[in-house]
Amino acid sequence: MMKIDNISYSFPQDFALKNIKFDLGKGQILGLIGHSGSGKSTLLKIMAGLLEPDSGTVFFDGEVLPPPSKKLIPGHEKIKMVTQQSSLFPNINIAENICYEIRYFTKEYQQKRLKYLAKRLNISHLLGKKVSELSGGEIQRAMLAKSLADEPSVLLLDEPFANLDSLNKKRIILELIKVLKNENISCVLVTHEIRDAFGIVDNLLILKNGKFIQSGTSEQIYFSPKNEYVAKLTGEAFISADRKYFFRPEDIILDSEGEYQTRVLNNVFLGANYEVFIEIEGRIVFFFSKKPLELNSEIGVSIQKSYF
């Protein structure tokens, strides 16, 4: 479907991307993860044909994707990109915005597609409204519907769930996955919320300073991170003083005969469970418990360590 072949791009002061290579298969969903400034959004723009790389080539369906310098209107009609900035026309309502993408199709198809996407993305009640009447999360959902209207081959999502509340986010993620899978749409998802990616993607690509440093399934990346950067990027991780191993809160187990004897410093209620804070090897860490533990009480714990 898409092949990213040795792409590099630089700003005046530094590289944004350096020798990036990967393939995006038909219907595959990839997660692109990295700290701010790691090159994620720059890569999406290059994949969309909106930004010209310094070197390298993007292939789409076996053909070179023309860069902006080769097109009167940059981009490709079968590659859609959704960012946090609104792409909706402010002077028409949401239904008209979505149908604009399929204006050359029959009215019957337009209404069928509009109804389907509105139901999937929970925006049926918003179709008669204009952008100025919508919240940030509602705008985000409407933009997703607009991007899916003409059944793109590739969907590039740059922080698409950033403005969604937790209740809407879970539903929209599930419905979006259904649409992508049902229509065999390839997708690249950029998000700073790693847990959003875990439930969606087939594979994760980890970016640091414009380079890929690890790739694999969500499970591979989470349980076997290559280094401290990846471990901390993918969840809470406590790193040993010698930087040789790490452990996560779920790796700390109450064990009266465990290798560590310590005291309970604090309990923090999270709803489903508590974070219980203790001191291990001279540093404060926490683990999860269904109930609070007595403050200052002595406890033993065992830790399952993972080595880099």
DSSP annotation string for 96-119: HHHHHTTTTS-HHHHHHHHHHHHH
Residue 277, CA atoms < 13 Å, CB-side half-sphere: 8
Residues of the chain short of pLDDT 50, as ranges, are: none
d(CA 123, CA 142): 7
d(CA 24, CA 65): 14
How many other CB atoms are found less than 10 A from the CB of residue 114?
Answer: 21
- Model confidence, pTM: 0.92
d(CA 197, CA 215): 13
Q: Determine the pLDDT at residue 22.
A: 97
Q: Determine the pLDDT at residue 88.
A: 96
End-to-end Cα separation, the chain, in angstroms: 34
Is-contact 180 155, C-beta < 8 A? yes
d(CA 267, CA 277): 6
Q: What are phi and psi of 230, to 5 degrees?
A: -70, -40
Any idea which fold 1-78+152-234 has?
A: Rossmann fold (3.40.50)
Closest CA to 267 of 236, 242, 252, 288: 288
Is-contact 287 299, C-beta < 8 A? no
For 36, the enclosing helix (H) or strand (E) is none
Is-contact 293 267, C-beta < 8 A? yes
Q: Which CATH number fits domain 236-307: 3.40.50.12160, 2.30.29.30, 1.10.3720.10, 2.40.50.140?
A: 2.40.50.140
Please tell me what DSSP assigns to residue 66. Answer: P
Q: Determine the pLDDT at residue 14.
A: 78
Q: Determine the pLDDT at residue 300.
A: 98
Show Cβ contacts of residue 73 under 8 Å, excluding neighbours closer than 6 positions.
none
| Strand ordering across the sheet containing 55-60 | 15-24, 2-10, 55-60, 63-64
Closest CA to 264 of 222, 229, 306, 293: 293
Is-contact 117 98, C-beta < 8 A? yes
- Say how many residues make up the chain: 308
Q: Determine the pLDDT at residue 293.
A: 98
Domain boundaries, the chain: 1-78+152-234, 91-151, 236-307
The first and second tokens of residue 170, run together, are 């879970």
d(CA 132, CA 138): 11
Q: Where are the beta strands (DSSP E) in 43-169?
A: 55-60, 63-64, 79-82, 154-158
Q: Determine the pLDDT at residue 94.
A: 98
d(CA 245, CA 260): 16
Q: Determine the pLDDT at residue 162.
A: 82
- For the chain, the average pLDDT equals 95
How many other CB atoms are found less than 10 A from the CB of residue 147?
Answer: 20
